[in-house]
Structure 1
Amino acid sequence: MAEKAKIAILVSGRGSNMAALVYAAKSTDCPYEIVLVASNNAEAPGLKLAEAEDIATFAHSHQGLSREEHDKIMHDAIVHSGAEYVVLAGYMRILSDGFVEKWVNRMLNIHPSLLPKYRGLDTYQRAIDAGDTVAGCSVHLVTTELDDGPVLGQTEVAILPDDDAERLASRILIAEHQLYPKILAKYVTREADPAWILNRVRERALALTETHERESFGSPGWRVGSEKTGKYFAYFTQKLHGEASVGLLVKTSGLDEQAALIDADPDLYYAPKFYGKSGWIAIRLNTGRTDWDHIADWLYKSWRLVAPKRLTKMIDIADQF
């Protein structure tokens, strides 16, 4: 089984969503483990629960500290724990931009509304007052704008005719406890998901000048030039010609460079079937540690090797200024 993603959870109170994540993590097939529960409140009941479950805890009051000072203390504790992701579970603090930027795309939050509806507080009563027939909860990535990050998943909860805010909140909380572990598990394993990987490659390939996508032997490939005369500069491989790994095929300058790359990092590079004899190289993309800037560089390099001279000349001229 692949190494589990390491999670730090921030709480301020009882930590019921934290508990849902802790118990989900006990499943042998759960892809994450909780390595820290931290709080701005040393008396938070969530800390006592975490301690009872043999999870490391940390607490430091925000009283008398600037937002930035307190966030630095929390950040340092998270880093020390070895956590790769931060999960907010009733953490009643507005985070500084600096803290959020340190954990960009690695910090999740759950919010008791169907975002983008009802950001902020009093979400249950606002949904009732608006005459909505459904409310719910959303898991989203945390950005510097409050409750405004990309939504990763939602659960709708019906609003009953006699609901008040408390009754509605109790049902939404049940939905939260089911949604959060599921979305977190999906998110931390996304880099091994072929569909997610393909979309990341596609974005970068099609961002290059005069490129288009065309299937080759049932797999996506990208060409530069016209539909009629374009040349392939990259292929996505999942089962292309029987390949087992998920990867990207790009052109090298020749067999010498191909051999040098494989010799230098055989865990990342390998000679693909069929294309390998022509000097193409395959880069593994399902390791969970893909450097996407490196992939973008390879796509550009491969694109340059086959792009029409009129395109490369234009780029060379522009690079001089």
Structure 2
Amino acid sequence: MLISGRGSNMAALLYASQAPDCPYEIVLVASNVPDAPGLVLAAAEGVPVFARAHTGMKRAEFDAVIDAELERRGAEFVALAGYMRLLSDGFVAKWAGRCLNIHPSLLPAHKGLDVHEAVLAAGETVTGCTVHLVTPALDDGPILGQVRVAVLPGDTAETLADRVHYAEHQLYPRVLADLVSAADSTAAWLERVRSLALALPEAEEKLSHGSPGFFVRGGKFFAYFSRDHHGDGITALLVKASGVEEQAMLIDQDPDLYFRPAYFGPSGWIGIRLDLGDIDWRHVEDWLTRSWRDSAPKRLASLPF
């Protein structure tokens, strides 16, 4: 989780995570404000914390520092909880579909700051809060959940904010739990593979051999998402090894993770199982990048990234 202040939504997510049936755990609370009160609360509850002031650093440079800490702790999702800093496009792209935020209005209404003042100025009788996925545009990502809150006669921005906070604390843990739970589904695995594959230069997708396939424009296929291919009951990523010798070596080293896929195996492709639990997405990303380089035209294969 990323915070900048007292972290009341962070606290709500943290305490909800202690329920026996909660599908997520908090591995890090990080802040761009070293003396943020929420860090004290998180540390007192035994959650690892990290803080560094962003002063004097470019946005992408600072986000790279935060990203390195997230990776070090093994984070798979990022929840913004009062994080008062815009994220760089590169950070948002890397965590696409896995970074979420809560906003104190019924989006798309009243984006940005001073939300409660805007609600009262408009004479509205209902407001609320929204949890959404983070995209480069401010408060503009796909909506994951909302709660409505009545505006009462005589409300001030402060009294309205208090009640919206209660709603936020109920909504955010439920939505995060749903998102994390859904990430274990086959459809979620495909979306994750797709986002990683299509982030590579000039990568495109089309159905091939009955599976979603990814290829380089002007080049060849470099990966397939295989689901029960030839009735094997396995969900896996198929990528190019250097040949049948490396294929055999990989299978010998880890026969649970790697396998020789039907049809593709004789050509040296390797299958990497995704249905074993605890997917190592960095490992998947590395294989996609390697396979992409082996398939891309020379004008692209030498690109540094």
Q: TM-score per shorter chain, which class?
A: 0.5 to 0.7
Which residue matches 1:10? 3
Deviation at 1:58, TM superposition (A): 6.1
Secondary structure at the counterpart of residue 90 of structure 1: coil
Q: 2:274 aligns with which of 267, 279, 285?
A: 285
When structure 1 is superposed on structure 2, of 132-141 and 108-117 the one drifting more is 132-141
Matching residue's letter, 1:213? L
Which residue matches 2:57? 68
Secondary structure at the counterpart of residue 68 of structure 1: coil
Secondary structure at the counterpart of residue 173 of structure 2: helix
> Structure 1, residues 6-50: CA drift from partner, whole Å, max 9, x if none?
xx442412x321221111111234343334445636473x44543
Partners of 1:78 and 1:176 lie apart in 2 by 29
User: Contact conserved, 1:153 with 1:179, CA < 8 A, in 2?
Assistant: no
Q: 1:79 aligns with which of 24, 48, 69?
A: 69
Which residue matches 1:111? 103
User: Contact conserved, 1:36 with 1:83, CA < 8 A, in 2?
Assistant: no
> Structure 1, residues 174-213: CA drift from partner, whole Å, max 9, x if none?
33113322333455566543112223545748x757x642
Matched, 1:294 2:283: no
Give 5+ residue unaligned stretches, structure 1. 1-7, 225-230, 305-314
User: Contact conserved, 1:157 with 1:171, CA < 8 A, in 2?
Assistant: no
Cα 1:113–1:190 change in 2 (3 A) is: same
Partners of 2:9 and 2:103 lie apart in 1 by 11
Partners of 1:318 and 1:51 lie apart in 2 by 46
Give 5+ residue unaligned stretches, structure 2. none
Partners of 2:300 and 2:34 lie apart in 1 by 55
User: Contact conserved, 2:213 with 2:224, CA < 8 A, in 1?
Assistant: yes
When structure 1 is superposed on structure 2, of 160-169 and 177-186 the one drifting more is 160-169
Structure with the greater alpha carbon radius of gyration: 1
Deviation at 1:263, TM superposition (A): 3.6
Partners of 2:107 and 2:26 lie apart in 1 by 27
When normalised by structure 2's length, the TM-score is: 0.65
Alignment RMSD, CA only?
4.9
User: Contact conserved, 2:145 with 2:171, CA < 8 A, in 1?
Assistant: yes
Residues 96-135 of structure 1 correspond to what in structure 2 (within 5 A)? Answer: 97=88, 101=91, 104-105=94-95, 108-130=100-122, 132=124, 134-135=126-127
Matching residue's letter, 1:236? F
Partners of 1:249 and 1:296 lie apart in 2 by 13
Which residue matches 1:33? 25
Deviation at 1:112, TM superposition (A): 1.0
Residues 300-315 of structure 1 correspond to what in structure 2 (within 5 A)? Answer: none
When structure 1 is superposed on structure 2, of 165-174 and 72-81 the one drifting more is 72-81
Cα 1:38–1:259 change in 2 (3 A) is: closer
| Matched residues, number | 283
Which residue matches 1:183? 175
Partners of 1:166 and 1:288 lie apart in 2 by 45
User: Contact conserved, 1:258 with 1:280, CA < 8 A, in 2?
Assistant: yes
Matched, 1:193 2:185: yes
Partners of 2:247 and 2:64 lie apart in 1 by 45
Which residue matches 2:226? 237
Cα 1:161–1:234 change in 2 (3 A) is: same
Q: Percent identity, please.
A: 41
Cα 1:265–1:208 change in 2 (3 A) is: same
> Structure 1, residues 125-179: CA drift from partner, whole Å, max 9, x if none?
323433556433233455676x346345230415456373445434432331133
Partners of 1:301 and 1:74 lie apart in 2 by 28
User: Contact conserved, 2:105 with 2:115, CA < 8 A, in 1?
Assistant: yes
Matching residue's letter, 1:155? Q
Partners of 1:111 and 1:251 lie apart in 2 by 43
Which residue matches 2:146? 155
